[in-house]
Amino acid sequence: MIEDELLKWKFKSGGKDALQRIYEKYRDYLLTLAMALVNDAGLAEDIVHDVFVTFAKSIGTFKLRGGLKSYLTTCTLNRCRDQIRARKRQPLSLDEDMPMQSDFDPPDKRMITDEQSRLVAGAMAQLPYEQREVIALHLNAAMKLRCIAGLQNVSVSTIKGRYRYGLQKLRSALNGRL
């Protein structure tokens, strides 16, 4: 936390080193989050790219009172939502299932992962987007359910329900495959 505060200040002061440190600190985290949400290697790559490029450009106007990680998480989340909306090319229906089959190429030169992560990401892609988002934000981004409720603009009990149902589906989807 203290490091992030310092990084924010240094970044705002124009420090290239600070930007590099922020990039190195959060690149894998953001990629994992994006993969958990979109399960598409190319899309996840674009999203992380956009987040960092936009962040780097924000140097002159950067005013962040909250945490750096939360900020980057929200940026990634918003882009994932945008991409999913754009991909469907129809009015947003976040409850529609994403295809189970990922077009993510097995560990290639651009991403490093393992078989289990690929399976989990694939199983998460079967969940309705809103359940997937709750699980990814809570488990991968360590965000509290109350905060997620704010992001999805629903009650905490709804979030708890989405979380519980999502986990049940994941459990059955992965049963016997791990």
Partner 1 sequence: MKPSDDIENIVKKMSFKVGPELDKDLWAETLKARNAFHKTILSPGQNNIGRTIMKSPITKLAAAAVICIMCLTGLFFWKSTGSGIALADVLARIEQVTAYSYQVRSTITTPQTKTDLKNTVLVSQEHGIKYASRSVEPNNNEIDGADAYLLPKQNSIIFVVHEKKMYVRVKFDDDKLAYYKEQYNDPRIIVKQILNCDHSSLGQSVIDGTTVEGFQTTDSAYGGGFMGAADFEGKPKKVDVKLWVDVNTFLPVRVEEDVVTKDGMRMHEISYDFRWNVLMNADDFKPIKPEGYLSFGEVTVPAFKEENAVLGLRLFAGLAGEYPDNLDAVSLNKKTRKLIGFDIDTLEDLADDEKARLNSELMSIMGPAFFYEKLVEDDMDPAYYGKTVTPKDADKVLLRWKQEDGSYRVIFGDLRAETVTAEELAELEKP
Torsion of CA 55, 60, 65, 71, to 10 degrees: -10
Residue 46, token pair as written in the block:
């674009």
Minimum Å gap between C-beta 90 and partner 1 is 28
Which residues on adjacent β-strands are paired with residue 128?
Answer: 97
Name which of 84 and 136 has its Cβ closer to partner 1: 136
Minimum Å gap between C-beta 173 and partner 1 is 9
Residue 14, token pair as written in the block:
């124009």
Name which of 17 and 93 has its Cβ closer to partner 1: 17
Name which of 60 and 91 has its Cβ closer to partner 1: 60
Residue 76 identity: T
Q: Of 69, 34, 68, 64, which Cα lies nearest the Cα of 48?
A: 34
Name which of 91 and 176 has its Cβ closer to partner 1: 176
Minimum Å gap between C-beta 97 and partner 1 is 18
Q: Which residues bind partner 1 (CB under 8 A)?
A: 6, 9-10, 12-17, 19-20, 23, 27-28, 31-32, 35-36, 44-45, 48-49, 52-57, 59-60, 108-114, 116-117, 120-121, 124, 135-136, 139-140, 167, 170-172, 174-178
Backbone angles phi, psi at 80, to 5 degrees: -60, -45
Minimum Å gap between C-beta 60 and partner 1 is 6
Minimum Å gap between C-beta 155 and partner 1 is 22
Minimum Å gap between C-beta 89 and partner 1 is 26
Name which of 87 and 164 has its Cβ closer to partner 1: 164
| Three-state secondary-structure class, residue 144 | coil
Note the residue count of the chain.
178
Residue 107, token pair as written in the block:
């560990």
Q: At what angle do helices 2-12 and 16-38 cross, to 10 degrees?
A: 120
Name which of 47 and 149 has its Cβ closer to partner 1: 47
Residue 40 identity: D
